[in-house]
Structure 1
Amino acid sequence: MKLRRLKVEQLRQFRQPFVMDDLQPGLNLIHGPNESGKSTLVRAIRAAFFERYRTSSVEDLRPWGDSAAAPTITLEFEAQQKSWHLVKSFLQRKRCDLKIDLDSYSEDEAEEKLAELLGFQFSAKGVSKPEHWGVPGLLWVEQGTGQNIEQAVEHAGDHLKSALNSLVGEVASTGGDELIEQVKARWSELFTPTGKPRGDYQKLEKEREKHRQEIDELQARIQNYQEQVDRLGKLTQDYERTRHERPWEEAERQLEQAKERYRQVERLEQQQVREKETLTHLRNNQQLLRQNQEQLQSLSKKLDVRKVELDKAQRELERAEARSPSIASKVREAKSAYEVATKQVDQARLQEIRSRLEQNIRRLEQQSQTLARNLANARQYQHELEQARDQARQNQIDAQAVKILKDTGHELKDENIRSQTIATRLTWRLEPGARLALNEEPLEGQGERQLLEESSLVIPGVGTLGITPGGADLASTRRKLSALEQSLTEQMKTLGVSSVQQAEYRVATYEAAERTLRHTRELLKSVAPMGIDQLLADQKETESQLQNAKTELQNSPAPELGQQPQVTNLASAEAGRAQAETRLAEAEAEERKHQTELLTRRQTRDNAKSEWQQLQDEVQNPEHRKQLQRLSTELAEIEEKRVRLEATLQAREQEIQEARPAILKQDIERYQRSITNLRQTQEERQRELRDIQVRLEAWGAEGLEEQFSDKVAGLEQCNRRYQELHRRAQALNLLLSLLTEKRQALTRRLQAPLQKHLNHYLSLLFPQATLEVDEHLRPGTFTRGTELGQIAELSYGAREQMGLISRLAYADLLREAGRPTLVILDDTLVHSDTDRLEDMKRILFDAANRHQILLFTCHPEKWSDLGVAPRDIQAMKEQATGNLG
């Protein structure tokens, strides 16, 4: 199917007539910004086919605020080697008219023709839904739905299966399906849909498991009973021995002794802490006094240091002031060099513009010559194409009919040879002047004849001899020869030839003309892919661009010739200016750094002078000597106290360590736990003795051994009944598996044509990967290397890509089966990365060799290398508005 022209009027934003014609048979790239009308055009195509003309559920087609509008859609397309013209109006003027070549249809009859052509259904009531869309719903992808393919395949499933059956023949066996259903019915009596037992089978399995559990429980209880009897004897012996020994009383005595020793150690530790605090206080005072003493003693040294620092700061300031004239000279030189470099950039830019114009002129001249050569070649190829087309038309003949004619000729020749083998042979040799007559035909001299039917031989003067050929196959041979001769004559008459050789010559001539046609079309397409008219337009456009470039070169000013050195190109000039600018910036930065250094040096010199004067005044003060003497006396007294206190602390610390307080604390905890554990253990023995005695009395009254024997007998009886159903279940499982495998083999044969097309596209996107389709023809398991999963588990972008290649494979299948196809893509592949988008472009370009594809997008820059000229909806709307004006 090839859509040639689309016209909409009074439909959403297209209030005035809007026409999109000259649609190409392959790829068509239609672009425009958001809200420019792309989705509206897609909706219009869907409405023209899917919506009943008499429906009132298409209010979304009405322009906003226009209650009197009658949305109208006109489509012109080719299908089934016929020209179709469809006009459908909604709401205020409900009408549907369809013209197919010279035949006209209207209203419901026209709509049924459309549904029959494309393979979809109309909604019985209300707006059309996806379940009605069939094949178009699969191949026409709405915005944001590219990754959703399962439902679309399901809705188009009957049409796809019909196409497959037309390719491979009807491979489904109704009888086989009935047998599988019968086996499934018997299998379902024993199993649930998930394969779990049901009914008597499930009941027996549960009873058997219940018997086993009860037997296991009884065995465990019997074993437990015996273990409890042994446990009772041991517990009784341990309880009586502990009751007499009372081991917890000795632990309580040891606990009190440990607590007393620990209290003595705690008193020593508290006294140690107090005296350590006193020692810390003495050390802090001693540290402060020493710091004060060192500070007073260091004033004289600081005064000498400050004098040295003052002299150094004065010298550094004088050296910095001496560098000022040199730095200022560098700044002036850098500014001058930057101004010269800027002028060179301006001159180089002018030269660059003229060079670019001259290169463009040379390119356009070469392009013009190439277009002229292509135009001459295209006209020659067009002439050759017409000659080949005439040759093919003159010698067109049915090759299959010629093959049948040759077979008939060979069969006639073989039958003649066979007839000669079984015919009656008559030979004669007569005397001179003697004559005979065979079936009233005179014979003389000598000769030979083969007779296939009854004949009479007349001998003058003697009489007549009757000759009846014998042989069982002779009559049938005569009839077959006659039929073959008549058939050969009729076939040659039908084909319009006088001999088999002439028919073969016409077939060979027609096939040679067809090969020439294909070759010449390829040659013509190689020099004029868009046609000779487009080639002429390109040549005129190139000539116009060449003239404009020459005019622009003449109007471009030439660079000035001055005393500055000439720069070869703009890049070199800009590099020179950048270097000059860098040197200027460095010089200015150095100047700023120098000024900062001068300020810093002066500030350093002033600060050093101020500090030196302050220290000198402080050292010459009389109070300074008195403070040094007082500090020495206080330090001697504190040192004596510190030595005595440290000796006391060391002795007491030795006493505490020998007492080992941590071990005493652990002893207290150990004795407390031992007392608790000993008492609790005895109480637990007493409780356990009572519990065991009660349990043993109860179990002894239950008769566990007798119960165990009864349960074993019940299990054996249940096992016999279960094994009968289990063997039946296994047999049904095996039979159903074998039947299903055979049915799946037939299904794979049915899927083979679709799998072939799917593998073709998949190899371009994911080399070495496979994508299988299920029995409902839906894409399912995806395998790549060691990875295995379903399409639904892929990323959003990958699912969108797999959805598109699946749709293209369905389109190839439909085309191979002779069904019409049209692919519409509305803003698809928006989630594809750069590499995957490049692969998808190859796939679309390949598919466009077999199908017409309408690709709507708001990102034309992503499709600039698709190999087709884009069509701007916005520009077409403005042109339509201008024409109306």
Structure 2
Amino acid sequence: MKLQRLRVEQVRQFRAPFVLNDLNPGLNLIHGPNESGKSTLVRAIRAAFFERYRSKSVQDLCPWGDSSAAPTVELEFEHQGTQWRLIKSFLKRTRCDLTIGGDSFSEDEAEERVAELLGYEYSKKGGSKAAHWGIPGLLWVEQGTGQDIEQAVEHAGDHLQSALNTLVGEVASSGGDAVIDKVTAERGALLTRTGQPTGEYRQLGEAREGYQEAVNDLESRVAQYQQQVDRLQAVTQEFQKHQQERPWDKAQTSLEEAQARLAGIQQLEQQQQRELETLGHLEQQHELTAQNLAQMKRAGEQLAERREALEMAEQRLRTTESQSNTVTGELVAATEAYNAAARQLTAARAQDQRARLVREKEQAAQRKQTLSEQLEKARTYQVQLNEALKQSQENRIDVEAVAELKRSDRALREARIRSEAIASRLSWALEPGVLASLDDHPITGDGAEQLLDRARLRIAGVGTFDITPGGDQLADTRRTLAEREQSVQAQLDKLSVPSPEDAEERKARFEAAEQRRMHAEDLLRSVAPSGIEVLGVAQAEAASELEALEKRLGTAPEVVKANVPALAEAEVEFSRAESRLKAAERAEREYQTLLLTRRQARDNAHSEWHRLDREFQSNEHQKKLAGLEERFGALSAEKREKAGRVERRKEQIRQARPDILRQDIDRFEKTIQHLHDTQVAREREMREIKVRLEAWGAEGLEEQLSEARVGLEQCNRRYQELSRRARALDLLLSLLVDQRQALTRRLQAPLQKHLDHYVSLLFPEARLEVDEQLQPGRFSRGRELGHVGELSFGAREQMGLISRLAYADLLLEADRPTLIMLDDTLVHSDQSRLDAMKRILFDAARRHQILLFTCHPEKWQDLGVAPVDIEHLKKSPPTLA
């Protein structure tokens, strides 16, 4: 099978017709960036083959946002020298037509012909699924699924098995299957498929574990019983010993002695705290007196500092007053420049407004002309649409009913053919002048008649013959023929047509009218998307807008001044003048603020200097200074005396170590509590052990242990018997299966031959084997051995493609059609493996047609074929069918 041409229309992003033709019979590299439509083309091919033309589950084919579309896919391919052409339309205009050479088929019959050719089936309900795809599902690899081959092989298994049988015939007899099944059943009673115990074997294993757990538990409990007896004796002795010695009384005496010593130290600490508070007050008074004394001594220094500050403030004020003329002059110049720029900006804006009105008038006139032309076209298209609607109404017919009539008419013809095949045939050759009649209808000369019912032949001068047709199926055939004739006539009456041919002609006229109607609707929407009325309103609005602009232009003032700058230039100049004015105003405000600030600073400095000078020269100041010096000396002596007493008491408290006394008190209290709690715990433990020993003694642990050991021994004997039987059956089944697989390998040999061919190109000295279900299984390379599913992701993808190519070779050898489609495959292969896979693809393309879709054409430059660019094809006009 060689695909030659693909055409899609109204399929996802391909709203307009898109054609992919002149495909090579071997390797085809089709590339484009992401979202260019590669996966859409793959989906279209799958839909053309896998989906029923009347299926409603193909909404994903519609262009985005267009639920009224009718996705259409057209395929042309060659098989065994015969040209096939398949056309399918979905959803709004369901249709399926197939041409094979000079023969034509349609609808269900066309679909079944294609499915039979390629080896797949349709879903009975809903959309097509992988379980229905058969051979194409194996050879057509969707994006990201190249490594998943098991399900595809399973769904195509019957077709692959049929191809193998065609090549080598049935080699695996069923004679040994009964033995294998018997051994498997016997083994299955004891072991699962994975070799785990089941049935009585598993139950005995569980019972054995239960007995063993019971024995272990009872042995543990007997040991615990003995341990508890020993523990009770030890705890009782400790309890009696502590009751006699009473160690907590000694600890209580030590606690009371430590508390008495701590109370004496706490009295000293209280006295020390009071002395420290008094010393703190003295230190505060001493420090405050020292600060006051130092402050009064610094009064002369502060007076000189204030005089220097006054002279500096007066100098700064004189400097600031000298800048007045400069600041005022800049403000006047900036104001004049701002006013001139404002006048220029007003003139420029008037000039720009008039120019803008002229441009808007020209645009409105152009828009009015465009809308007028569209309105004229829309009216023409509306007339065409009305005519198409009229013809569609006149020829309207139920398409499904016509299809049903066609099927009924076909069934009627088949019934007539069957009736003619089983009916009795009456032939005659009468001499000239002989008078005869059949069921009162005259007959002469030569002739023949098919008889389904009883008939009477009358020959003048001879007599009458009654002819009764025989045959077991004659009555049923006669009834079936009558029913189908009535059904066809009823359908003709329902459609109001005289014959099926007239119904087909009326259907063709109706579909042609619908095509013209939809074309006229498309044209009408292209010029009037919202309708003619809305377009007319828009045209009237455009005319009104043009008239209003002409009036505004007539009233707009004309600028007659010379040297009027452009609006942008005037705005820049105005902005510059405005910024200069703002800067000058800000500078003037800052100057006035600075002037006021410096005058205030001069006045403050003068007031402070005058106050200090007056205070320093007074007698009261001198007397206060002498009193502070006397008080400072008295406070210093009292402070030294208090500090000495505090230091001596501090040493006395330190030597008594009150922190250690507090620790001793805490230690003795905890010791007393611990001794009491331990004695109470011993008493409680003694009671609990006695209760526990009484309970265990009543249970009879020794007797229970003996019974459990007997049950464990009996269970072990039966378990060992079943274990030996299970191992024997497992070994026997393994030997039988190995023998069965030796026969199966003869059946797998043709497929294994093709697998070995491809694997050797990728992994020299490697081998990939298939199992009984023809699934890729064990993979070996040198001393390495494992399952193909244990390989890396990239290697599994490569093995998946190699396996598919081998299946294709097998199908081709059995004279079955093959087409290989790969959507962005081998993306996880490193460069060396990718080069090897290119060699494999080039080799396979000598026998099969391969469509390789990719978004990385640079990786396939050395594939030996010219690439097909989807984006370039989109820009080219579609080829007419």
TM-score for both structures, normalised by structure 2: 0.51
Does residue 84 of the first structure (1) align with residue 112 of the second (2)? no
Q: Pick from 664, 680, 684: which aligns with 1:683?
A: 680
Task: Indicate the SS of the match to 2:876.
Answer: helix
The one-letter code of the counterpart of 1:71 is: T
Structure 1 residues 713, 6: CA separation in 2 closer, same or farther (over 3 Å shift)? closer
The within-5 A match list for 1:222-621 is: 222-264=222-264, 271=272, 275=276, 278=280
One-letter code of the match for 2:154? Answer: E
Distance, in Å, in 1 between the alignment partners of 2:812 and 2:152 is 18
Match of 2:584 in 1: none
Give 1:678 deviation, angstroms: 1.7
Instruction: State whether residues 10 and 72 of structure 1, in contact with CA within 8 Å, keep that contact through their aligned partners in structure 2.
Output: no
Q: Is the 8 A contact 1:44 1:73 kept in 2?
A: no
1:82-106 CA deviation, whole Å, 9 max, x = no partner? 3432233446574443426x88777
Cα offsets for 1:440-492 (capped at 9, x unmatched): xxxxxxxxxxxxxxxxxxxxxxxxxxxxxxxxxxxxxxxxxxxxxxxxxxxxx
Per the TM alignment, residue 4 of structure 1 is displaced from its structure 2 partner at its CA by 2.2
Measured after TM superposition, the shift of residue 136 of structure 1 is: 0.9
SS in 2 for 1:868: coil
SS at match of 2:25: coil
Q: Given the alignment, which residue of 833, 852, 855 partners 2:852?
A: 855
Letter in 2 for 1:717: Q
Paired letter, 1:732:
L
Give, in whole Å, the separation in 2 of the partners of 1:784 and 1:632: 109
For residues 229 and 68 of structure 1, what CA distance do their matches in structure 2 show? 92
Which residue identity lines up with residue 733 of structure 1 in the other structure? D
Paired with 2:743 and 2:626, the residues of 1 have a C-alpha distance of 118
CA distance in 1, matches of 2:838, 2:205: 60
Residue matched to 1:667: 664
Give the drift of 1:55.
5.8
Matched, 1:6 2:3: no
Residue aligning to 2:732: 735
SS in 2 for 1:190: coil
SS of the residue corresponding to residue 46 of structure 2 reads helix
**Cα pair distance change 1:660/1:130, threshold 3 Å:** same
Residue pair 1:282, 1:638 contacting (<8 A) in 2 also: no
1:251 CA displacement = 1.7
Aligned to 1:693: 690
The answer to whether the 8 A contact 2:142-2:823 is kept is: yes
1:240-272 CA-to-partner distances (Å, cap 9, x unmatched) read: 222222222222222233344445556666747
Identity %: 58
* CA pair 635-201 structure 1, distance change in 2 beyond 3 A: farther
- Extract unaligned runs of 5+ from structure 2: 306-611, 617-621
**Alpha-carbon deviation of 1:180?**
3.1
Cα deviations across residues 618-649 of structure 1 (Å, max 9, x unaligned)? xxx999xx9x9999999999998888787667
Distance 2:10 2:839 in 1: 38
- Counterpart Cα distance in 1 of 2:14 and 2:247: 105
**Equivalents in 1 of 2:752, 2:874: separation in Å?**
43
Could you tell me which residue of structure 2 aligns to residue 71 of structure 1? Answer: 72
CA contact (8 A) 1:86 1:97 kept: yes
* Partner AA of 2:100 in structure 1: K
Q: How much has 1:230 moved relative to structure 2?
A: 2.9
Q: Could you report, residue by residue, the CA deviation over 1:270-311 in whole angstroms, capped at 9, with x for unpaired residues?
A: 74798499599789969x9899999x99x99xxxxxxxxxxx
Contact 2:96 2:111 in 1 (8 A): no
Closer/same/farther in 2, CA of residues 136 and 267 from structure 1, 3 Å limit = farther
Change (3 A) 1:658 1:68: closer
Instruction: State the shift of 1:871 in Å.
Output: 2.2
Q: Give the AA of the match of 2:672.
A: I
AA paired with 1:43?
R
Q: Give 1:753-772 correspondences, 5 Å limit.
A: none
Residue of structure 1 equivalent to 2:121? 121
- Counterpart in 2 of 1:19? 19
Q: Secondary structure at the match of 1:123?
A: coil
Specify the alignment match of 1:97 in structure 2: 98
What is the alpha-carbon distance in structure 2 between the residues aligned to residue 687 and residue 867 of structure 1? Answer: 94
| Cα distance in 1 between the residues matched to 2:787 and 2:635 | 88
Task: Report Cα offsets for 1:309-347 as digits up to 9, x if no partner.
Answer: xxxxxxxxxxxxxxxxxxxxxxxxxxxxxxxxxxxxxxx
1:718 to 712, 715, 718: 715
Taking the aligned partners of 1:284 and 1:142, their CA distance within structure 2 comes to 97
**3-state SS of 2:123 partner:** coil
Is the CA contact (8 Å cut-off) linking 2:74 and 2:88 kept in structure 1? yes
- Please say which of residues 183-192 and 273-282 is displaced more in the overlay: 273-282
Residues 75-130 of structure 1: CA deviation (Å, up to 9, x unaligned): 12345xx3432233446574443426x88777766655543443322334454322
Change (3 A) 1:707 1:140: closer
Aligned residues of 2:79 and 2:817 also touching (Cα < 8 A): no
Tell me the equivalent position of 1:879: 876
Amino acid paired to 1:695: R
Task: Tell me if the contact between 1:283 and 1:642 (Cα under 8 Å) persists in the aligned partners.
Answer: no
User: Would you say the 8 A contact 1:823–1:854 is kept in 2?
Assistant: yes
| Corresponding residue for residue 154 of structure 1 | 154
One-letter code of the match for 2:870? I
Q: 1:866 and 1:723, CA in 2 relative to 1: closer, same or farther beyond 3 A? A: closer
For residues 719-772 of structure 1, give each alpha carbon's deviation from its aligned partner in whole angstroms, at most 9, with x where no partner exists. 333333232223223333444555567677876776776687778889999977
What is the aligned partner in structure 2 of residue 507 from structure 1? none
SS of 2:866's equivalent in the other structure is coil
Change (3 A) 1:205 1:639: farther
Paired with 1:283 and 1:706, the residues of 2 have a C-alpha distance of 95
Structure 1 stretch 730-739 or stretch 57-66: which is displaced more? Answer: 57-66
Paired residue secondary structure (1:880)? coil
For 1:703 and 1:232, the matched residues in 2 are separated by 20
Query: Given the two structures, how large is their TM-score scaled by the length of structure 1?
Result: 0.51
Counterpart CA distance in 2 for 1:717 and 1:15 is 81
Could you give the per-residue CA deviations for residues 37-80 of structure 1, whole angstroms, max 9, x where no partner exists? 5444323322333345576765666779697968352312345x
Contact 1:13–1:37 (Cα < 8 Å) also in 2: yes
Maintained 8 Å contact 1:55/1:90: no
- Contact preservation (8 Å) 2:29, 2:866: yes
Q: State the number of aligned residues.
A: 569
- The Cα of 1:198 is off from its aligned counterpart by 3.5
Tell me, yes or no, if the aligned pair for 1:10 and 1:70 is still in contact at 8 Å. yes
- Cα deviation 1:561-620 (Å, max 9, x = unaligned): xxxxxxxxxxxxxxxxxxxxxxxxxxxxxxxxxxxxxxxxxxxxxxxxxxxxxxxxxxxx
- C-alpha change, 1:226 and 1:21, in structure 2 (3 Å) is closer
Cα offsets for 1:393-421 (capped at 9, x unmatched):
xxxxxxxxxxxxxxxxxxxxxxxxxxxxx
2:77 partner amino acid: E
Name the aligned partner's letter for residue 871 of structure 1.
V
Structure 1 CA distance for aligned equivalents of residues 754 and 659 of structure 2:
85
Report the Cα offset of residue 133 of structure 1. 0.8
Cα distance in structure 1, aligned partners of 2:229 and 2:57: 87
In structure 2, distance between residues paired with 1:105 and 1:123:
20
Counterpart CA distance in 1 for 2:224 and 2:50 is 78
Aligned equivalent of 1:439: none
For residues 148 and 283 of structure 1, what CA distance do their matches in structure 2 show? 95
Cα RMSD (Å) of the superposition? Answer: 5.8
Measured after TM superposition, the shift of residue 876 of structure 1 is 3.0
Q: Deviations over 1:358-415 (max 9, x none)?
A: xxxxxxxxxxxxxxxxxxxxxxxxxxxxxxxxxxxxxxxxxxxxxxxxxxxxxxxxxx
- Offset of 1:131 from its aligned partner? 0.9
